[in-house]
Structure 1
């Protein structure tokens, strides 16, 4: 991605350049493999003035295309734009993949080829596609895993593309609206997740309280039963019945009594 310092240099150059130089600057940034943000340059006063000239208007439109547009947008307006160099074609295809990755977390080769104008079943198309993806991964445009066997790109995170500060174009409105929709969807998912966690927490607490209450009642019942056994002439028979009814609890009680007797003997000694 273009660093703030590099973009500041471009803006400084754009402030004082003549129309021919501004056109060359647009060509340069749309070919540069390390530049992927263009909104600030497109809003520069010199570029805005260039848009009013017959020779400069197509290049400004090209710059706006690289700001938020895709390969499909280019095809729809190619007759209004300058011819693209090989570097510009690769850049626009890469930006298109970036837009797709922002919308979907799992992208098939077939889907990506369709959106960037490559034949789906040709080995050469796969090679070009993988080179574009690998270069984007190296530049941290997105993170993910490229699965050549399954012919799929699994996206983990994405660096968003430009959203124009002045959304005066159709693409600008779409970009702002899409970002707003994405934020609303994230808010709704977060709210649903919090509600689900709160519900689960209450359920766990209720189960814990119910189990604690049951254990307390069982302990009280066992204590009363043992007290009755100690006071009964038929204590042995009753104790055998308790052993059948509360086997675990009786084992615990027996261990407690054995431990108590040993401690008493040690104390007397």
Structure 2
């Protein structure tokens, strides 16, 4: 681990970002060029003290998971992420469809969406990044154990996940999710992560096994989806799916039609949900 070079790289990466680049409000009287240390720590879900020690070349060796979150917080490209890993004495992740590295372009779009829920999801259902409105709508995926950040695994193994949707919609949502996963596996039959997820869910969920055996194949498309929120009530939202260049990551954006009851409730969620996040 090259602590001095790592510290210098972190400082320079932080200095070249503005608050607007990461979806934060700059506020008055900013003397620090770029982001503040506490802002990077917040984005990376680590303590300010831990991050400060890294920048002062006296911190402990970061874990691979911590390096991944730092790369995302600092909006590093794939090459810059690999450099960060090398400076920390770690082998960079293999650049595969399941690497989990969110491209800076997708994060830039996500950061600009302040008034509507949006998240970046891998093609097999791993939630990779969320904006504040997405957290307010469906909960903070980063607060769950890593395995349960996968939407497919939650849908078929966690009964509480179904509470987010009306009972009459759940079969359709499950069938569409399984059909999407089958299409992904068909396009990448040698992908061990997709194959392992299918094998796991077939073993633990009778519903998944039943739907898998129906052999429906269809990639996730734009659709309308109903949500049951415990505070603002039912919302009917249009779901737009924007694919990355390699089609292995998706930016999913939920919008409500202006003037509708769901639009009004989404505006209420923005106030209530973000107040709750601030309190926490």
Task: Tell me: higher relative CO, structure 1 or 2? Use CA pairs within 8 A at least 6 residues apart.
Answer: 2
Bigger helix share: 1
Give 1 or 2 for the bigger CA radius of gyration. 1
TM-score class, shorter: under 0.3
What TM-score results when the alignment is normalised by the length of structure 2? 0.26
Bigger strand share: 2
